[in-house]
Every structure is written in structure tokens, then in C-alpha cells.
Chain A
Amino acid sequence: MAGTPDRLSSGFAPGEAEGVADLLARAAAAGLPLSEDEARGLLTSVRRLDAMGDEVRALIDPAVEPAGPAVAPWRTPRS
């Protein structure tokens, strides 16, 4: 059952069962069908995305984006 690692299959690495259970819970909340095997396969990717989230937050500098993020490359101070 989503969110309860003790109900998952056995054979998980340390910390993996909790991660898979968390993904299953979040997938269920999002209405996304996801099997235990699929969640297990996704875990590394999701953790990598989480790490990337930390990485990009470290880049943010409010001084260069006073009006918030801009998408179009020509919408820059140079133009």
C-alpha cells in the first residue's frame, strides 16, 4: 500500500523501501498509476531530480532577475 514500506516486497536496499513507498504515495496523490517495480525503477531518477533542484536553487541570484524569470532570450537587459 502506498506510503507504507513494511507492506512492500522484500529485497530492498537500505533506504530504498522508504523511497519507493514515498513515490507510490505521491503517485497515488497525483492520480498516476505506478507499480512497485516502476517506482523502484524511478527512485534513482527522482533522487537525481531532487539533487538538481538543490543545485539550481544555489544558482539563484535575485539581483539579476528583479522582475522574475524570463524565457525569451531577447527579453534581456541588452535589448
Chain B
Amino acid sequence: MADPTVVKAESLAFAPIATAAAAIRSGAVSPTELTEAALARITAVDPVLHSFVLVAADLARAQAARAEEELAAGVDRGPLHGIPVGLKDLYATKGIRTTAHSRVLIDWVPDEDASVVVRLREAGAVLVGKHGMAEFAFGGPASDGVFPAPRNPWNLDHEPGGSSSGSGAAVAAGLCFGALGSDTGGSIRKPAAHCGIVGLKPTWGRVSRHGVVPLAWSLDHAGPLARTVDDAAILLGTIAGPDPLDATASGEPVPDYRAGLEQGVRGLRLGVAWDWVHEMGTIDPDVLAAFEAALGVLEAEGAETVPIPSAALIAGRATNTLIITAEAYAYHEAGLREHPERYGRSVRGRFRGGAFMGAADYLAANRARTVLRSQVREILGGVDAIVSPTCARPPEPLVGLDPDARFREPSFVNPYNLLGIPAISVPCGFSATGLPIGLQIAAGPFEEPLVLRVARAYERATPWHDRHPALG
């Protein structure tokens, strides 16, 4: 007969963080039981999912035991206390190998935690492990990676989206309650959309990047992947804020991101850049149908959808691509000269492109960024938020997938890295083949409460977040 406490913990595998936190405080389950259930599920499921490159079982057990002792002693660190979470393997973790999924860093064991890892620890979270990703967060699944490429829990033959691929897969599969990813051109929002979960790229500087292996400094954002909007709000509230170790981290006050979640969208004006949505005619019919249905839901909830100009959002792709390429090459220049063979074929080629750009190209892209930001600010003067699909197509089969192809296609996500404004992806349906589709909501700088509020209004009105992949 099964141990009843283990069954109880397992039944919480897909629970919202607040539900698991309440179960801990009611005594229905302990942090240790929750952690053991997560570790058991990882053991059962991850050999086919490949979402973790390292499982920190001993650390997790120790952190869970400490959380249990603290809660028993009346020390309550908040909703993450005793909750198992994961990290994309580019967050420095003290004493734990951190590889960025690359042979270049295969032996790197940091001697300090990234600032946000410290914050998670101080919030009492339990780190169950490090997630697989695209090598150095640049691109898609690669056949020559140092670890197997993570797979999509909804269909293991498909990609989970990247670059925070393992984080998206693990959270969607119920292997942890949330994760931190990074987003330089959509790398939190794409896996969120492809795995049927929530992913939030905050305002640039909202979350410290100290101790996060960079891809492109002026475009990199750290942020959460979670199964619900409330979970994303909890995680963001834990990691947001100034950091003396990161000069780019903003001192803007951190609001309570959960406070306004239930305010709804009545009276909000949501902009739709239709020419962008239809750019190059590549949008999948199932994605378009899901997006149009999502607009209908938001309108039924009281929002007004209005057309907005597309030019600045379309132009953002080229500008973003140039800046990523130049900054990434600058970071990897020495490595590409001295040991190029340690990089995977795909990412090596992409990084090398930066060697052939001039300083004037980079600065031209930054000048264009300023212009585009001004244009989008003007658009946001007339609407509260901008909505779009997150990805133009559902997840693609891994066999035959060209990780470089998507860099030649329209993107609904990377302009918001360029602009530095917050954007969230929330599940908005499934393709005819049963693969998840995401809705993206973006707003002005530090308007995270607004994008969370719109996302929550949509989530509350739809059933998508209640569906989970059948694994394990």
C-alpha cells in the first residue's frame, strides 16, 4: 500500500505555489515530502524529458529540512518557503557546477551564488537542480550538445522552445513549482508558450543579472517560468529589486505583484499590431485562431482591442539581432579564438557572425533602438498594453529542426528585449495536434503589475492552465 503522505505530496505536483504553501502550513504536507515527491518525479520522468542537467538532491533535501525546522519554529519566509524550484543552468550556484549547457564551462563550479539565487534561498525555496538549455542561451536544440536537448512534455518528439527549454519542460511536467530562466530574444516566453505555462520577461534592470552567464548585456533579462500567473508574480516579487552587485539593476520600488491580479481588464485598451501578426504570412492557422479567440475572451472580460501600427515592432527584429550578435561575440571573442572546438557547431557559427560586424553597425543598431523605443512609447500612449501571439507556430518536431532557421523568421518576442519593456506569455490554447499555444502581453517600463493583471484576467476566464501533460 502506498505511503499516504507521499501520495499527498505527489498529488500537489501541478498545484499552484500558493496551494502548496498552504498545504505546508496546514501540516498536510511537509517541505521534505514535497521535495522527495519532486525528486521521485524527476527520477521517473526526466530520463526521457532531459529537462535537468544536474539534480541537486542532497542540497534540496538539506534545504527542505531547514525549511521544515524554520517553519516549525515559527520562522515563515513567505510563499516560497519549502517550495522546490529549478534554475536554468546559467545561474551561478555556489559549489554546484554551472555550464550554460556548454563544454566551454563544463568544469566551472562557481564560488558564489547569483544574486537572485541568494534571494530564492533567503525566501526559503528549495533548489532541486539545474535545467538544460540552448548552449549559452543562443538558439534551439542542438544534436552536438554536451547534454541531451530537453524535450517537450506534451510530445517528446517536439522541441520545448528555447533557450530556457529545460526550465519550461520541467515546470510544465510538474518536476518543480517554478523556475528562473533568462530572455535575450524571447528565451523565457517561447518555452513558456511551447510548454503551456506562464513566462515573464520583466523590464530590463528589474531583476539583477549578477552571476547570470550573459548572452547580450543590453538585452538580457532574468525572470520566472511558472504554471500560473500568481506563481509568476510570487517568483518575480522574490527576485526583483536593486542589487549593489549589478549596476544595471534598477532602484525603482518593487510593488506587491500579487496585489492587483484580480482587478480584471474592464476599461483597458489592448493594442493589436495586425500587420506584425501577419508579417511574411507565416503564422500558423491554429495559432491565429487561438489568438483571435483570446482577443474575444479579453473583450468579453471588458477590454477594448484596437489596431496599432506595426512598423516599429517589425523593425525591432533586425535591430535586436545585430545587437545580440555583436554583444555575444564580444563576450565570446577570446573563447572563439582559443578553443572554438568547445562550442557546438550551431552556436559557434552564430557567435562568429559578430566578428564580421563593425563598431558602426553596432552603434547604428543602438541608435535605431532609441528611435524604435520612442515610436513604441508613442503607441503605448494610446493603449494600455500590446497583445500578440507569443510564437507564430506551435512547437516543431525535433527531427529535421534547423536551429538557425528561426533567426531568419518574424519574431513576436525579441522586439521587447530591444525595448526593455515587460512581456508575459500565458497559455491560450492548443494546436490540432495537441501542442500548446501562447498569448503575449506587453506594456510600458515597470508595468509588470499590468501585464500580470491582463494575463490573470485571461487565465481566470479560460481552462488552459488546468491542463497538464501526461507524463510519469
Contact = CB atoms under 8 A, between A and B. Distances in A.
Interface string B314-355: 010011011001000000000011001000000001101101
Most chain A CB atoms below 10 A, which of B205, B218, B315, B371: B371
B337 to A, nearest CB: 5
Interface of B is mostly: helix
In which size bucket is the chain A interface? 35 or more
A52 interface: yes
B277 interface: no
Interface string A65-79: 100111111101011
Given A31-B337, A45-B350, A52-B322, A73 B420 contact: yes
B371 A65 contact: yes
A49 interface: yes
Given A60-B364, A74-B445, A46 B370 contact: no
A2 interface: no
Given A69-B363, A73-B203, A60 B340 contact: no
A45 B349 contact: yes
B131 interface: no
A64 B368 contact: no
Contacts of A45: 349-350, 353, 404
Contacts of A61: 371
Interface of A is mostly: loop
In which size bucket is the chain B interface? 35 or more
Given A45-B349, A71-B218, A76 B367 contact: no
A33 interface: yes
B184 to A, nearest CB: 14
A69 B367 contact: yes
Most chain A CB atoms below 10 A, which of B252, B370, B420, B445: B370
A8 interface: no
Nearest to B204: A73
Contacts of B250: 72, 74
Interface in B246-304: 248, 250, 252
Contact of B374 (A26, A32, A53, A64): A64
Contacts of A64: 370-371, 374
B373 A76 contact: yes
Given A32-B336, A73-B420, 4 more contacts: A46-B356, A48-B408, A71-B420, A76-B373
